[in-house]
Structures are given as C-alpha cells and as structure tokens.
Amino acid sequence: MTRTTFVKCCGGMLMVHALLVFSGCTDMGIDPAPAPQGAPAEEDTPATVSFSQTIRPIFANPSVECIGCHGGTNGLSVGTPADLLRGGLHGPAIIPGNSAQSLLVQKLSANPPFGEQMPLGGTPLPDASIQLIRTWIDQGAKDN
C-alpha cells in the first residue's frame, strides 16, 4: 500500500468517524451489549400492563387458583388492586412503584420472607407471569 492510498483510507475513516460524532451517534456503530440472560426482552413486556386484562387473569387461572384461595383468607383478597393495597394480616400486598418490596412478589418468588412460596401447594407461577406482576406494580399498580 502506498503512502497516498494509506492517507486516503485513513482520511475517509476519520471523516466517517466525525460524521457519526457530529450526528449524535454515541455508539460509533458498535452493536449494543446483549441483554443479561433471564432478563425479559423489551418487546416481551407490554408498555402498560393492565390489571383487568393481564394480572387478574393470572390470579383467576384455574391451575393457579389465587382468587379461590385468596378470596379473603388471612384477610387478603387478590380480586382488585384496592384489595391488594388493603392487604391482609401481613400488611399491604403491593407497594405501587416498588415491586421489590411488595409482599405479593416476595411470596410468589422462591424463598419468601416468611411461610411458603405461593401458590401454596401448587406449581409456582412462571417467571414471565411474575415479571408481568412486577411490571404492573412498578408502573403504579393502576386499576386499569
């Protein structure tokens, strides 16, 4: 490669680099880092999770039977967001905007802070269902 060819090649690369920088491109054409394993893909989580269309059906599923069990046992009902906010013997089941501290998520997950993982004596909810519940709570636990 001659010096002239090398200079032209480097000059072209510098020009492309400058265009990327000045046009607001911050990743310089590098592919984004892959999502961590187990993290839901952005397209898997709806923009807004609806209680009536997404969360209540999880609780009403006959194989889970949360509504049947928690139609008032231990003072807890899971039929409405207001019921979950009111909670039961152990306090509010949800803290809008904070799924990590919400008792509902803790009891649905492995190793709850007390008692057994819910649903009691049943198959644990799939991670995708728990993630939808987390998202709904983090979005403010709206009655939508």
Q: How confident is the model over 63-89, as a mean pLDDT?
A: 76
Q: What is the pLDDT of residue 107?
A: 94
Q: Is 124 exposed, middle or buried (0-12, 13-18, 19+ CB in 10 A)?
A: middle
Nearest to 102 by CA among 113, 80, 65: 113
| pLDDT tens readout for residues 92-124 | 999 999 999 999 999 999 999 999 898 888 889
How many residues in the chain?
Answer: 144
pLDDT tens digits along 22-62: 344 344 444 444 444 444 444 555 589 999 999 999 988 87
User: Sorting pLDDT into bands at 50, 70 and 90, what band is 73?
Assistant: low
